[in-house]
Amino acid sequence: HPLDPPADPFAVAQAAADDIARLTGVERHDVAVTLGSGWGKAAELIGETVATVPATEVTGFSRPALEGHVGTIRSVRTPQGRHVLIIGARTHYYENHGVRRVVHSVRTAAATGARVMVLTNGAGGIKDTWSPGQPVLISDHINLTADSPLEGATFIDLTDLYAQRLRDIALSVDPSLDSGVYCQFRGPHYETPAEVQMAKAIGGDIVGMSTALEAIAARQAGMEVLGFSLITNLAAGISADPLSHQEVIEAGRMAEGRISALLAEVVGK
Ligand SMILES: Nc1nc2[nH]c(I)nc2c(=O)[nH]1
């Protein structure tokens, strides 16, 4: 794979950014958004699509593992004239392709010029006041993967990783938004009730299988990060009923309109 050692992941990201500029005709992007489950509709609401490119045509992106989920990369222009790169081709850590592949889309976004990285995902909620379909701002993360996208002695500060400035913009759009600490588990299995209680005990409010590693890479690339979780289910053991993937998909579909409008407004600010 082009990202396998001895490749330089940043050179591969630059090649991907050059592909995107060539294929979309957009030289520079200002903001990048990674769409997680439930956030698919946001692209149309963020602005006018300038170009849509199959991710497989961009260096370092591969056919996503998700059934029927053709990974696309879209260039969208907001009413304010901002160029937004919408990445619909996330590689999950649980696919076991290595961290370089997980964070390639973030490094590529930075190489296209984007200074803001918006990471969205579907996740489980630990706070029992939350209900399926609710979007939540990510205030910080706990990385339970025991891995890092950083290689060698690259000591990066992660204070204010989920930029307060961007969270304030989101709160100005929707003051009712709650916030939470996101715990990235390796997955692909969901947590046991005991693991959910552990996440709660260590200060977690959200459990997921993405985002933390991408956020670290975004900070390394000098980007400001904004993270949103769509709570599609209460985490295992928080409510009596067992998790069903169907319920997760359904909750995402129900919430799509509201959260896409929210994301579009925030990106437009
Ligand atoms: N780890 C974890 N990831 C998730 N993704 C979704 I959607 N729901 C969950 C969940 O309950 N736990």
State how far the Cα of 19 lies from the Cα of 49, in Å rounded to an integer. 17
Residue nearest to atom 5 of ligand 1 (CA): 123
Atom of ligand 1 nearest to the CA of 38: 7
| Alpha carbons 174 and 87: distance in angstroms, whole number | 24
CA atoms within 13 A on the CB side of 129: 6
State the catalytic residue, choosing from 27, 44, 151, 191: 191
Total-model pTM:
0.94
- Residue that the structure tokens 């998700």 belong to: 66
pLDDT per residue as tens digits for the range 147-181: 999 999 999 999 999 999 999 999 999 999 999 99
Nearest alpha-carbon partner for 94 in 138, 42, 38, 145: 145
Q: Encode pLDDT of 76-95 as tens digits.
A: 999 999 999 999 888 999 99
Q: Which of 126, 131, 189, 248 has most ligand 1 atoms within 8 Å of its beta carbon, as the pocket-test mutant?
A: 248
Indicate if 191 belongs to the active site. yes
Residues 6+ apart with CB under 8 A from 239: 128
Interface confidence, given as ipTM, is: 0.97
Q: State in Å: Cα 148 to ligand 1 middle.
A: 20
Could you report how far apart the first and last alpha carbons of the chain are, in Å? 38
Q: How far is the CA of 126 from the centre of ligand 1 (A)?
A: 11
